[in-house]
Amino acid sequence: MPLTKEQADEIERLRAEKTQTLRATVPALEELLYHPLPVLDHGFVRVVDYMGDDGAVVQAARVSYGKGTKRVSEDRGLINYLMRHRHTTPFEMCEIKYHVKLPIFVARQWIRHRTANVNEYSARYSILDNEFYLPAREHLAAQSETNRQGRGDVLEGRDAERVLDLLREDATRNYDHYAEMLNEGADGKPADPGRKGLARELARMNLTLNLYTQWYWKIDLYNLMHFLSLRADAHAQYEIRAYAEVLLHTLDRWVPLTAQAFREHAMGGVRLSATALKVVKRMIAGEKVDQASSGLQPREWRELMAVLGREPAAK
């Protein structure tokens, strides 16, 4: 994930500036502030601003002044209570802003989470960099036979080589054609003075979806955790999961008590339907229950058995 000299200089300048504040700050997150955290082959995530901390969640829940209770154990207990009972509004009091560089096809998945503020690099105004995502070999897989939106067996040998060649050739060729249509030199003047270039807003439509884009993404703590519960899950597509895991790392730094509660009750826990809960109670009482007598659909039954460690879930 190479940075240009200008980008590296800007990061150093920002980190060198010190600003006094009466607002709550988090030293562990301050250490990461502005630094690009690498993702995939050319992508990154940067924390560029934040508001609030674990204390802000506690303060909002109690509607109190200042930092609230001084006892971490009490704060931890309250945050766990809020998480366990899905009292979400106190978590909405905290916000964080990221600068993210990501492949366009990942951005199109990401943007489905409509509870954030987003400002994306404009290819109508600027020229996109010639950087595109090529998967590592271990992430090149065939279509799953049982999951229409998932991957199956990893491609090997000549199959993998051919796919990588096609991805590289298509992205390179299309970017070359994009540059040719723009007809813009590094100085902003026509590369070929004898012809006019195509408008940027039209030339961009020829680009491949593995090209990188960038955006600023600002979101509150509750909706960030909702994003992570879906995108850091093992069933999420690898490429967006790679970004979610980095965001999860920043969550641990920013609000450690909330992050612990989130891992315990959201990522590490399960929600049962009323019928599934009845099945569990019947099993605890010693009754033998099968799918036919459970009242659950076959897929629901398999998922419940997988959660209980009885049978594997269907893929």
Here the CATH number for the domain that contains residue 15 is: 3.30.1360.170
How many angstroms from the chain centroid is the CA of residue 202? 29
302 pLDDT more than 60: yes
114 with 152, same domain? no
- pLDDT class for 295, splitting at 50, 70, 90? very high
- Helix or strand or coil: residue 60? helix
28 pLDDT more than 90: yes
Q: How confident is the model over 282-291, as pLDDT tens digits?
A: 999 999 999 9
| Rounded average pLDDT over 55-68 | 78
44 with 100, same domain? yes
Which one is predicted more confidently, 263 or 269? Answer: 263
90 with 178, same domain? no
Query: E-strand spans in the chain?
Result: 37-39, 43-51, 95-103, 117-120, 141-143, 151-154, 212-220
Please state whether beta strands 151-154 and 43-51 pair in parallel, antiparallel, or not at all (unpaired): unpaired
| Confidence at residue 154, expressed as pLDDT on a 0 to 100 scale | 82
4 pLDDT more than 90: no
Domain for residue 20, yes or no?
Answer: yes
| Rounded average pLDDT over 132-149 | 81
Which one is predicted more confidently, 4 or 265? Answer: 265
199 with 145, same domain? yes
Residues labelled catalytic: 231
Domain for residue 96, yes or no?
Answer: yes
278 with 216, same domain? no
Instruction: Kindly report the pTM of this predicted structure.
Output: 0.88
- pLDDT class for 156, splitting at 50, 70, 90? confident
Domain for residue 233, yes or no?
Answer: yes
Domain for residue 153, yes or no?
Answer: yes
Lowest model confidence (mean pLDDT) among 58-62, 186-190, 239-243: 186-190
Cα–Cα distance between 140 and 114 in angstroms, integer? 29
38 pLDDT more than 90: yes
| Confidence at residue 22, expressed as pLDDT on a 0 to 100 scale | 82
143 with 29, same domain? no
Domain for residue 313, yes or no?
Answer: no
177 with 50, same domain? no
Domain for residue 177, yes or no?
Answer: yes
Would you say 127 and 68 are in contact if contact means Cβ atoms under 8 Å apart?
no
| CA 176 vs CA 24, 162, 182, 198, 211: distances in Å | 49, 21, 10, 14, 13
188 pLDDT more than 80: no
Domain for residue 315, yes or no?
Answer: no
Q: How confident is the model over 167-180, as pLDDT tens digits?
A: 999 999 999 999 99
- pLDDT class for 313, splitting at 50, 70, 90? low
Q: Would you give the end-to-end CA distance of the chain in angstroms? A: 34
9 with 112, same domain? yes
Nearest C-alpha neighbor of 105 from the set 249, 224, 238: 238
Q: How confident is the model over 106-128, as pLDDT tens digits?
A: 999 999 999 999 999 988 888 99
147 with 225, same domain? no
119 with 165, same domain? no
Domain for residue 301, yes or no?
Answer: yes
257 with 229, same domain? yes
Report percent pLDDT > 70 for the chain: 94
| Confidence at residue 204, expressed as pLDDT on a 0 to 100 scale | 93
Residue 181 structural domain: 137-206
Cα–Cα distance between 105 and 173 in angstroms, integer? 18
Q: Tell me the average pLDDT of the chain.
A: 90
Nearest C-alpha neighbor of 52 from the set 71, 77, 79: 79
208 pLDDT more than 80: yes
- pLDDT class for 91, splitting at 50, 70, 90? very high
| Confidence at residue 124, expressed as pLDDT on a 0 to 100 scale | 86
114 with 153, same domain? no
Count of domains for the chain: 3
